[in-house]
Structure 1
Amino acid sequence: MASRHVFSALMPVWLYAAWFIALTATLGALFIGEVLGQTPCVLCWYQRIAMFPLAWILGVACLTNDLRIVRYALPLALAGGAIALWHSLLYAGIVKEAIVPCQQSGPSCTDSAMLTVADLPIPYLSLISFVAIAILLVIFHFHNKSPKVTT
């Protein structure tokens, strides 16, 4: 019974944590692109298309205490995660296909400039972010259901 009260007290924390991750990833992507001048590849752009709206809608959900956020945020997180997984597999060389955006005129996804925090490449950081957001949203969803009262 006590653990149920702990989860109830932490309800907003799950959503705020997901928002913090999305906001950090969005600001990080903007910093890498705009301040450091690193041109994002096509797969990075697709991941941005999923992550940037997450920062906004998760923030609005935190401010308005929207309990239905999972319905529209989880599909974005899963879509972005799928693209990030594909990008990570290409980066790791597990999938033997040329990365389309990494041509002579575009950015190289195997360049050392792809390494960021703790020497993790950008595709891995993106994958970790999307997976963490999805997990936090699922936790938020399942712990948000109120127990049924029987009379």
Structure 2
Amino acid sequence: MDKKIENLLLTAFAAALIAMLGSLYFSEVKQYEPCVLCWYQRIIMYPMAVILGIAAVKKDASIAIYTLVLSGIGILTSLYHYSLQKVDFLYNTAPSCGRVPCTGEYINWLGFITIPFLALTAFIVIFISSILLLKTTRENKK
């Protein structure tokens, strides 16, 4: 098996695992209650941590098409959530999305790093890793 494929699988798995553990830290240790959009992002991320972990152990790059789609959906969800927090027009017109407002910012490091931004970063890392996995496996078949 190509070492590049193993590294890409481990990179994607690490991003998903760190995102999952980070979200659990914020909710279970820091006691930050997730909003509805945070739950949607978790619903996408948590299964990816499991399937990417299995794929990394089995060195199975065929998982890339599934993680590409899931991370793409996650990117859109996180980008929308982050926009609700940081774009004035969206912030002021954001609909109520449950007990915890989706515009709330439990953290705001350096003025732009919020929890949805962290999720967005993880989804992007997984998305790029998935594209590179697909590209590398196609090149190896030639």
Structure 1 stretch displaced more, 91-100 or 36-45: 91-100
RMSD: 2.1
CA deviation map 1:7-55 (0-9, x unaligned): x432210110000000000000001001111000000000000000010
Q: Per the alignment, in what secondary structure is the counterpart of residue 18 of structure 2?
A: helix
- The corresponding residue for 2:94 is 98
- The corresponding residue for 2:107 is 114
How far did 1:95 drift?
4.8
1:125 aligns to 2:118 (yes or no)? yes
Name whichever structure is richer in helix by fraction.
2
- The corresponding residue for 2:128 is 135
Instruction: State the structure with more CA Rg.
Output: 1
What is the number of residues matched between the two proteins?
138
Identity of aligned residues (%): 33
Q: TM-score, normalising length from structure 2? A: 0.86
CA distance in 2, matches of 1:95, 1:75: 29
CA distance in 1, matches of 2:73, 2:104: 23
Letter in 2 for 1:144: T
Partner residue of 1:81 out of 51, 56, 75: 75
- The corresponding residue for 2:22 is 28
